[in-house]
Amino acid sequence: MSRKAFSRRSFMGACAAGTAAARLAAGAAGAGDRVNLGFIGTGGRGGFHLAHFKSLPDTGLLGVCDVDARHLNAAAQTAGPGVLKTMDYREILDRKDIDAVVISTPDHWHAIPALRAMEAGKDVYVEKPLGHNIAEGRAIVAAAEAGKRIVQIGLQQRSGPHFIEAVRRIRAGELGKVSCVHAWNAWSTTGMGGDLGNPPDEARAPEGIDYDRWLGPAPLRPFNPRRLHFSFYFWWDYAGGMVSDWGVHLFDIVLWALGSDILSVAATGGRHVFKDCRETPDTVDAVFECPDYIMAYSMRHGSGFPYHGAMDHGIMFFGTKAMLRIDRASFEIFPEGAREPALTVKDQGQDQHHKLDFLAAVRSRKKPAADALCGHLAAIPGHLANISLRVGRKLVWDPKTETIAGDREASALLAREYRAPYTL
C-alpha cells in the first residue's frame, strides 16, 4: 500500500478517534451527576489516581484506605477536609454515599475488595491485572454480570485514541493477513525495579504499617522490606512479575485486535541477571499459539536496548501487506518491503480518557472501555506464561472452559489458597 493511501486514512482515522475522545470527555463532564469515590490503596499508582480523579469535574473524594500510615495520611491531605481515613477497606464500603471505589492495591488484594464492593452495590475501577490468578478474574466477571456493576480495569491504552485507531486499522485488514506478533518489555539493570538486594527479614514491620492486613490472603511470612510496596511485583505470593503486570497491557492490545483465544503457551526463562531476593524471573520468552496467529512475548531486565523505536516496550504486528509497530508514544505502519514508515500517528493521551470513560459509564450504566471481561481475558496470557515457566513445560489451554488439559500441577496454579480470615 502506498504512503499516500496510509496518510489519507490516517487523517480521517485520527480525526475520528479524536472526536470520539472529545465526545467522551464532554459526556462525562456535562452529565451533571456527581460521582463520589473511595480509594483503596493510595501509594504509588493509587496516589496518582487520587490526585487525577480530584482534578476531574463532578467527582467527590469521600474516603481513603491504606495499610501504611504514611500513604494514608498523604492521601487524606490530598483528598481534603472531611475525608474518611481508614486502614480497613470495609469502612469505605459501608459508606452509603460512596458510589464507586478505586482499587490500586498489590495484585493479591485486587479481587477481595472488588467483590465486596460489588456486593455493597458499588462500581469498581481496579488496577491491572484483574486478579492474582485466573480464577479470581473469572469470579470478578461473574460478580459484575450478576450485579450489573460497572467495572473498569486500569488498561488505559484501551482509551488511547492512537491505540483505538491502530486496532481499527488491523481489524479492517489494512495489514493484510497477520500471522505473527512480537511484543516485548526491555529494561536495563537499573530500570523497573533494578537489583533488589538481599536484605534480611526483620522481627516486625515498621511502625505505622499493618503488615498482617497487607499480607491479607497471602501466606504468613516474616516481614521483609522487599516484599512491600513497589517490589511486591517480584514475589509469587503477591503478583507475577512484569510478565503479568506489564505484559498485560501488550497482551490486551493484541487480543483486542486479533481475537482473545489462546490455545497453548510455552515459556522459558529464569533469574539470569540478578542474584537478589526476587522469586519471579528477570528474563522470559513465551510463545502463544492462537487460532490464526502466533504471539511471541519477551521480557528482560538485563538490557534496555529496544527492538524497534525508542521505548522500553512495544508490539509489532506482521501482516502480508504491512507491519504495524505500536507503543505508548505512537504507532507506525511500514508497507511490505519498506524500511521507512508510510504513516505515523502520535499519542493523544490515555489516562484521562480512561477515567472519564469510567465516570461516564457509572452515570450512563453503559459498558466502559475495559470492562471486567476485557480485563480477565487480557490477564490470561501472562498468568499462563508464568504457570508454564514454573512447571517447566508447554500448556494446552481450553479458552471455552478456561482449563489446562491433562496437567494437575499446572491447574493448581489457576487459583490459590486463602489465608483466613481473608477469603475470597
Question: What pLDDT was estimated at residue 256?
Answer: 98
- Give CA separation, 15 vs 9, 161, 345, 392, 403, in Å: 10, 9, 11, 47, 42
Per-residue pLDDT at 12: 37
The x, y and z cell numbers of residue 329, run together, are 508514544
pLDDT confidence of residue 8: 38
Domain boundaries, the chain: 16-158+353-372, 160-348+378-412
pLDDT at 334: 97
pLDDT of residue 389: 98
Chain Cα centroid distance, residue 44: 15
Whole-angstrom distance, CA of residue 379 vs CA of residue 246: 10
The CATH classification of domain 16-158+353-372, taken from the options 3.90.1150.10, 3.40.640.10, 3.40.605.10, 3.40.50.720: 3.40.50.720
Cα 7 to Cα 3: distance, rounded to the nearest angstrom: 6
pLDDT digits (tens, 9 = 90+) for 331-388: 999 999 999 999 999 999 999 999 999 999 999 999 999 999 999 999 999 999 999 9
- CATH superfamily placement of domain 160-348+378-412: Dihydrodipicolinate Reductase; domain 2 (3.30.360.10)
pLDDT confidence of residue 194 = 93
Q: How far apart are CA 326 and CA 423, in angstroms?
A: 40
Backbone angle region of 359, left / alpha / beta, with phi > 0 → left and psi within -120 to 50 → alpha? alpha
Positions of the chain with pLDDT under 70: 1-32
The residue among 185, 390, 391, 182 whose CA lies nearest residue 288 is 182
Q: What is the residue type of 412?
A: A
H/E element, 80: none
pLDDT of residue 24: 43
pLDDT of residue 28: 36
What is the model's pLDDT at position 309? Answer: 74
